[in-house]
A and B are shown apart, each in its own frame.
Chain A
Amino acid sequence: MNKIVSKEYFSAHVVKLEVEAPLIARSRKAGHFVIVKTGEKGERIPLTIAGADLEKGTITLVIQAVGGSSRKICALRVGDEITDLAGPLGRATHIEKAGTVVCAGGGVGVAPLMPIVEALHQAGNRVIAVLAARSKELVILEEQMRLHSDEVIVMTDDGSYGRKGLVTDGVESVINREKVDLCVTIGPAIMMKFVSALTKKYAIPTVASLNTIMVDGTGMCGACRVTVGGKIKFVCVDGPEFDAHQVDFDEMLMRLGAYRDIEKK
């Protein structure tokens, strides 16, 4: 069914899995995600499709272990099967030629950014990727990013690699230097909130890919709802990408904490 054909560690807590899923490989586009469940009593969690190989009939997932379910998936080995895998879900990224595009990814947000960078570059955009991590060991996918973009700027919180500073510092340095037509940001909600505030100041259209809590991923439950432009939107069917300047990030951050006390137990 959904056999794992290869596994690679990007860092101690970030794993890349290549999984057999021929139907999904055939129909997926940049920006789509899948719902993954491991074990009979497993949780359904959303993961972005970071890439696909049509010939092998596989898709690539990049997972950061942050809690119970993501750890379980990271612990799977080559040859193991993922119990349930459904997708591709969500709306694909709208790819067009905008001009100069800054793609700002933080933490595990770098992985879902990969296919978008690739597609934007192919569409003829000048793509500048800003990758942020806490320290050098946590920087992922730098080489692959270089293959598909015009420039890669690496930012680390502690300055152990690339430039010292936050993702917003990297984005602002580009804005100060040249005209930016579009910004795409994926990462922790708090990071996207600050990127969005920054680009709003400069009136640069910005797209954020939201990683809310989900259950079904098919529009059935509303667990993933966010407020965008004052209206309720379901991230799994209306998103996951939205106009960042319209997103109520504070509400999203609050909702991400809904199960924090239970999950800690």
Chain B
Amino acid sequence: MTTEEQIAIRRAEPWREELRKSVKAKDRSNMERVRMNELDAARRSHTNEEVNAGLTLGQARKEAQRCLDCAKPACMEGCPVSINIPTFIKYVEAGEILEAAKVLKETSSLPAVCGRVCPQEKQCEARCIHLKMKKEAVAIGYLERFAADYERTSGHVFIPEPDRPNGVKIAVAGSGPAGLSFAGAMAKSGYRVTVFEALHEIGGVLKYGIPEFRLPNEIVDVEIDVLKRMGVTFLTNCIIGKTITYEDLRNDGFRGIFVASGAGLPNFMNIPGENLTGVMSSNEYLTRVNLMDAASPESDTPVLTGKKVAVIGGGNTAMDSVRTALRLGAERSMLVYRRSAEEMPARMEEVKHAREEGVEFLTLYNPLAYIGDAQGRVKQMRLQKMALGQADASGRRRPVPVEGAIETIEADEVIVSIGVSPNPLIPSAFRGLDVSKRGTVVVNESTMQSSLCDVYAGGDIVRGGATVILAMGDGRRAAAAMHERLKIINRQ
């Protein structure tokens, strides 16, 4: 059966036809898009509480009515893992929220996470039929989050029933979204899965990177708990390639290895003053605050809390850093970005929230150098004013320096957030593993298999810094392909 046929069959179910007819399409289109309930900006900018409070059942069902239940749902094409969006939304409209959550879990392992962190405005919502009619897209992300949260708090968390255990041992290196989704899919197929994590916490970027005010740890922990209940073993403080080598894993009887070690290596700009104290990567800053809880008085780990904090970059990581700085008491929290606000890769919602909270946007500025005091602590930055020139390969207009327009601005803490490179630990430790010039693991795109036949890889270690949903999709794809391969081998 083709995907189109599957979509059509579900759409033709009697309850759904009836629901579709119960409200006229025109009336559905004329409804206003729901507004997310959120904490007041003045209050939230000083606490770590989650900013978005979620929708109520009433709001969610009303928003679900806006969905026209299209015969050819373009939104699904916009979703990297092809969630059956109209089906789950119609279950929300019908008030069958647990059913809606089940539909999400057919193709997504982490809906409560993705509902919060996916760039929906560039993916599913960007393809919503309403946009063609100059209306706002259905709030698919909010609804996804609603259904997943509803399930999580209902006391009826769905634990997939694993197939009969087949005793085959599988190893996963890294416990971010790619590793977690792979582990879930393999456990479901009856494998004995062990996830090895280098850090002392499970969750990858979801724990050490994305702050509590955007993605509470509790949400990630529930997903991890589901995996544990499905029989997945987690081993923290274990660095594949160091504590245990590829050869050790093979000798210990692991028949397949999934590398999901992420893009942890922070990039710097290599400009003067970048090694002054008070200048650090966003990974360092966020790791101290999120993983090590450095802002709490009980924590042994220190973190510098500047009064005038500048964050360099325009992605989600930059946005998380600049908003964290506000919460740690910065008087001025500035975002320095070399293009204009429209070109920022960060999620639209984060940009909006940052503005509301009082982050200053220094767009069209590029740092040239940092200047320190006598103790070597940064005190100023020298910024080059930029202007937008011709479009570059990415289609965005290229920023060019405005001759002679250089400004000096006070900053006692600078957080560099200009991207990450693949974590080099595994690429350098697995002999025979094909690695690209950029340091990513080379894989077959449909199976995620690497040049070593028992090693698969996915997520940021394959893509460079990408997204949670893509990492998760890779994990599921790799699991399906590895399962196929092992089935064939076992038959022989």
Contact = CB atoms under 8 A, between A and B. Distances in A.
B272 to A, nearest CB: 11
Contact of B239 (A44, A86, A215): A86
Interface string A62-91: 000000110010000000000111111100
Nearest to A263: B302
Nearest to B262: A220
A41 B237 contact: no
A258 interface: yes
Given A232-B270, A237-B424, A237-B425, A258 B277 contact: yes
A197 interface: no
B277 A257 contact: yes
Interface stretch (B123-131, B284-292, B326-334): B284-292
A44 B201 CA distance: 12
B323 to A, nearest CB: 19
A191 B140 CA distance: 61
Interface stretch (B33-41, B97-105, B240-248, B448-456): B240-248
B266 interface: yes
Interface residues of A, number: 41
Contacts, number: 119
Interface stretch (B19-27, B293-301, B347-355): B293-301
A41 B266 CA distance: 25
B287 A215 contact: yes
Contacts of A257: 277, 375-376
A216 interface: yes
Interface SS of A by simple majority: mixed
A39 interface: yes
A180 to B, nearest CB: 32
A262 to B, nearest CB: 4
Given A227-B275, A255-B376, A84 B237 contact: yes
A262 B304 contact: yes
B16 to A, nearest CB: 47
Contacts of A251: 275, 376
B293 A41 contact: yes
Contacts of A215: 284, 287-288, 292, 301
A23 B245 CA distance: 10
Given A39-B300, A218-B423, A222-B284, 14 more contacts: A23-B243, A27-B243, A44-B200, A44-B292, A86-B237, A216-B264, A218-B264, A220-B208, A220-B266, A221-B283, A221-B287, A232-B275, A254-B276, A257-B375
Interface of B: 198-200, 208, 236-239, 242-245, 248, 264-266, 268, 270, 274-278, 280-281, 283-284, 287-288, 292-293, 296, 298-302, 304, 375-377, 423-425
Interface of A: 23-24, 27, 37, 39, 41-44, 68-69, 72, 83-89, 215-216, 218-223, 225-227, 232, 234, 237, 251, 254-255, 257-259, 262-263
